[in-house]
A = this chain, B = another copy of it.
Amino acid sequence: MTSRATVKRVRKAPAERRSEIVASAATLGLTEGLECITLRRVADELGVRPGLVSHYFPVAEELVAEAFADATTDELDGLLPSDAGAHDDGGVLGMLRRFLALTSGEEFDDISRLWLNARHLARYRPLLHEQVVRQELLWCRRIEAMIDQGVRSGAFTCADPWAAAVRILVAVDGTSAYINTSLQQRLAPIRDVVRTVMETELGLTAGTLSPAAGD
């Protein structure tokens, strides 16, 4: 009657088991927070013993850092594919609108929480700190690349794509800072901040990046 149905061991290839552990930890960090990534919790999630997780990650913090990197890398690829320009559906402007739609949707809430979580926790955990910095610069560079592309194609103008990317991310992170607290009470004035900043930074007329403007 116990929950442990099978005492049979399942032996997997190291690489497979390892990525399984990271994936589980990433999901855990994304839904419940990075503090919940403990040896025991991850082991429970996978139906294995804590010692096994310890075997692949002798230092627990390494798993936390890698889980964060895994989750944010996946999200960034979904937000702004790195092979930008390959299949231009609506061009760069369409890509910007898609970015705005995704980052303002409810599906992005967990990511907002994860970033907030990681930026705080990085204060105490050097390995996580390293990954957060890496990902922050990665996200920034990806946006910069998109701006570069738009400037080259003549979709808009921008004197300093890097600075623009930095400031667009300030808007994104500023609006998502309240995800756990008073976001609902201040939603209305905040709603269009990212879009407005984008339009300003890229010299676009107001409303160009509104969702409806694409049709």
Contact = CB atoms under 8 A, between A and B. Distances in A.
Interface in A109-136: 113, 116-117, 119-124, 129, 132-133, 136
Nearest to A179: B119
Contact of A188 (B117, B121, B163): B163
Contacts of A185: 133, 137
Given A123-B33, A124-B33, A175 B170 contact: yes
B162 A170 contact: no
Contacts of A116: 116, 119-120
Contacts of A121: 120
Given A167-B193, A189-B162, A178 B123 contact: no
A101 interface: no
A20 interface: no
A181 B130 CA distance: 8
A116 B123 CA distance: 10
A120 B123 contact: no
Given A116-B119, A123-B113, A136 B170 contact: no
Given A163-B189, A170-B190, A174-B171, A180 B129 contact: yes
A173 interface: yes
Given A33-B124, A119-B116, A182-B136, A189 B160 contact: yes
A140 interface: yes
B177 A133 contact: no
Of A133, A171, A189, chain B has the most CB atoms within 10 Å of the CB of: A189
A166 interface: yes
Contacts of A11: none
A184 to B, nearest CB: 10
5 contacts: A119-B177, A119-B178, A171-B174, A174-B175, A174-B177
